[in-house]
Chain A
Amino acid sequence: MTATVDRVEDAAVRPPDDDRRHRLVAAIGVPVAALVVALVAGGILMGVEGVAPMSVYGEVLRGVFVLDGGLRDTAVVATPLLLLGLGLAVAYRARVFTIGAEGQYIVGAVAATGWATAEGVRGWPGPVLVLTSLMVAVAAGACWAAVTAGLNARFGASVVITSLLLNYVAAALLAWAVRVGIRDPGAFTPQSRPIGAAGLPEVPGPAIHLGFVLALAAVPLAGVLLARSRFGYRVEVLGAGKEVLGAGEARPARVTLAVLAVCGALAGLAGYVEVAGVTERVTPDFATGYGYTAIIVALLGRLRPTGVLIAAFALAALSTGFDAAERGYEIPSSTAGVVQALVVVFFVAGDALAHRMGR
């Protein structure tokens, strides 16, 4: 009798091979298909506008792969997206749906710039300045994210709402900082002093700033953290259910705080890297929405470090390519944004479809 019960219960489980294949196809197929369909739909829209889409796309590809510095520009744009996307991927695995990366990115950049340009600090030797600024950015981003965790733990406030609203506070902080707080007294327009020696050197060879290497190194680090550390395990359990975590492994509020702190630290780091590698100072229009684009990066990357790497490059290429195409064709500069938005729409729809078919 034992044997028959065994067989019945085994049969109740779907063949695992079949299932794994289906999940793999959905995991990779849906983002890729979403990208392709979005490009086709974007092409139709351009056709309506009277532009030949194929030649625009040709120019996009040329802009990324052929034109001078195309790949370099792509890598530079991909750097903050990658760091931000990794942090969000960790948070979303735990089902902590923060939208606060943008604010943490701004706060990290402002804090690091404030530190590196402060009286008495700015004369320090380069490596020390880089290291301390980096730590200041990481701490600032983490603290900014911890506000959300605290509000959630103490008052049960929604992570989505508080993290989103804190972005506006961060934007106001940026506006104040460049006009009053860390303003360059010698400049006519509102902006901070240049960070000077705290800037990141370029890597010899591809001529990309060191931050790119940092971002690349963060990918395997995040992978190991998720797969092999107790923290990574708790992220997965929290994602499965707060109560299970609280009854069997750790205090949910602490894990939520840790998750948000990691997310904020990576976002703060991204902010510093952007200042130190690209803009060299903080200006009123420093925030360009990378923190929101990174949400798409994390989701398209299926919340996996390698996936985030690929998605960051894909979206960065889209942006640099369209920048190049814009110069040659009569297309509005928002076209890249439209295509990105279409990617999201088709991705979400495709996911729902794949989920249904999987039943």
Chain B
Amino acid sequence: MNRQAEPRQDPGTTRPDGTAAVAMAGIVRRFGATVALAGVDFEAASGEVHALLGENGAGKTTLMRILAGLDHPDEGTVTVAGRPVTRLEPRALREAGVAMVQQHFTLVPTLSAGDNLALARPLGRIRPGARAARERVERLVEEHGLAVRTDVPAERLSVGERQRLEILRALDAGARLLILDEPTAVLTDAEAERLLAVCRRLADGGRTVVIITHRLGEVSAGCDRVTVLRRGRTVLAGAPVSEHDRTALATFMVGTRPSPTETRPPATARPSPAEGEPRLRVQGASLGRLNGFDLEADAGEIVGIAGVDGNGQAELEELLAGLAVPERGRVTVGGEPVPVGDPRARIAAGIAYIPSDRYRRALAGPLSLADNLEMGRGPRWRPPRRRRLRDAAEALRRWDVRSAGPAVPAARLSGGNAQKLVLARELATTPRMIVAAHPTRGLDPESARTVANRITEAAARGTTVVWFGAELDELFAVADRVVVLAGGRAAGPFPPPYDRTAIGLAMAGAS
């Protein structure tokens, strides 16, 4: 994903029959007072991989949901394969050959791959037998080269497999235009590269693939043309990728030239470990897929945990945050075992937790921002509401949480601001250890930079940081060393300068 863009011989701008596979014109979509799309034009041709680029909230997903019939525009027209679509409904667009793989998958978790396909497009009146269902998947797997296990329910498939199954289901329904919403957000670099290769093959077969993304790397690596949205408007319409370098694309996306990624202060500038033993020590910890994991980290050190999801990351996150007891082994911070089950004891032990799933573990959506700041920290009797709001407003300003005030529910915050709210709470005091699980996932570049800076600042003050990351580039930028979690064990450590190939191999499980 980090490779330079290779110029393509046929950048898809030349269309065999002169008509666009899909054309959207003057699309307007308002949500109350908010204008999500202010007259957007979009077109994509057959045989190309088209990137739809933009920051969070630029309107990418809304535009594509309209194209898939999942949302209705207030104004504008949609033309598929030269024919205007009058009824913008899921069924009409599905019949026109449009299919969308959304960020949150829509498989039935208890059904196998074959049954999920049979549910989406039944071939007969009765549910197919196990063998018929399996063969149907196998035929598709063979045809498109997307490997999916057929013998387990969808909930037991890995994220990558689930995504491939979603794509297979779309292809099975005869999709000519495939929309993928942030497809690589949940994948490792290697998986993402494979996915881009699949997209390329589908495009070569005459289909159109639209990839919604805010990652510049995969635009240059795998796409023919790119459309950039900014704040509900088209700022770059279907330009060949080869004409723009990454900096130019980033400029289109955010409006100004982004400042170069701030590098963290060199390790020597940080306090050296005063304690005799490491701040964090994980010894032979086993839980679920985690199998005898060892890790040591000193004060002020940032350890990056890389690896494919499902190799024990979730379990390690829970162990470090005191949400689970290890089946074997022990986890100590400053020589004391991590208190399990009692969040207040965890906080008293100086462990800050930034969970991978913000609204499941960090924030109570219906509660106000002020109430969320108080979680795990407030006194037995709470001060009057007015004072709570005033104190919260102060903290929100300091941490640059942009909102309509401390009394609004946390569910209303955008991803970046929600994460800043979590930081405002967890880093209010300088903790001894920060467990940061995918702290920048789903954030726009500016918020991601802020979040990363705040965490590295804490490390500079002597906090130990364990950073679970999906993007290697990000880990390389923040971490003092990288440990790969593969098959429930630690591989590495990999100190800088980072050897991408060695880390990639370790992630793939080759030791």
Chain A contacts to B: CB under 8 angstroms? 1, 4-6, 8-16, 227-230, 232-233, 236-237, 239-241, 243-251
Contacts and interface: CB of A to CB of B under 8 A. Distances in A.
Contact of A4 (B231, B321, B341, B362): B231
B385 A246 contact: no
Nearest to B31: A12
A350 B335 CA distance: 58
A11 B33 contact: yes
Contacts of A249: 343-344, 375-376
Nearest to B342: A251
Contact of A15 (B33, B256, B363): B33
26 contacts: A8-B231, A10-B403, A10-B404, A11-B34, A11-B35, A12-B31, A12-B34, A12-B57, A13-B404, A16-B404, A230-B378, A236-B371, A237-B364, A237-B375, A240-B365, A240-B367, A244-B363, A245-B364, A246-B341, A247-B323, A247-B343, A247-B361, A248-B343, A248-B375, A249-B376, A251-B342
Contact of B382 (A16, A230, A248): A230
Contacts of A12: 31, 34, 57, 412, 414
Contact of A229 (B57, B353, B380): B380
Which of A10, A11, A16 counts the most chain B CB atoms within 10 A?
A11
A13 B355 contact: no
B408 interface: yes
Contact of B362 (A8, A228, A239, A244): A244
Nearest to B254: A1
B366 interface: yes
Prevailing SS type, chain B contact patch: loop
B32 A14 contact: yes
B405 interface: yes
A246 B343 contact: yes
Given A228-B384, A236-B371, 16 more contacts: A1-B255, A5-B402, A10-B404, A12-B414, A13-B403, A16-B405, A232-B382, A233-B378, A233-B382, A237-B375, A240-B366, A243-B360, A244-B361, A246-B341, A248-B375, A250-B342
Contacts of B360: 241, 243-244
A258 to B, nearest CB: 14
B446 A5 contact: yes
A240 B412 contact: no
A346 B417 CA distance: 40
A245 B363 CA distance: 9
Nearest to A253: B341
Return the 4 tightest CB-CB contacts between A and B, nearest first: A240-B364, A247-B361, A248-B375, A13-B404
Given A11-B34, A229-B381, A243 B361 contact: yes
A216 to B, nearest CB: 23
A236 B364 contact: yes
B204 interface: no
A276 B224 CA distance: 83
Given A8-B57, A233-B371, A246 B364 contact: no
Nearest to B403: A13
A253 to B, nearest CB: 9
A227 B368 CA distance: 13
Contacts of A229: 380-382
Nearest to A247: B361
Interface in B22-45: 31-35
Contacts of B363: 244
A151 B309 CA distance: 35
B191 interface: no
A251 B341 contact: yes
B371 A4 contact: no
Contacts of A233: 371, 374, 378, 382
Nearest to B231: A8
Nearest to B341: A251
Contacts of B321: 247
B379 interface: yes
Given A247-B353, A247-B361, A9 B57 contact: yes
B253 to A, nearest CB: 11
Contacts of B341: 246, 251
Which of A1, A12, A247, A248 counts the most chain B CB atoms within 10 A?
A248
Interface in B295-349: 321, 323, 341-344
Interface string B379-398: 11110110000000000000
Nearest to A242: B360
Contacts of B359: 241, 244
A1 B33 contact: no
Contact of A9 (B342, B361, B364, B417): B417
Contacts of A6: 402
Contacts of B414: 9, 12
Nearest to A2: B446
A247 B342 contact: no
Nearest to A237: B364
A356 B403 CA distance: 25
Nearest to A11: B34
Contacts of A16: 404-405, 407-408
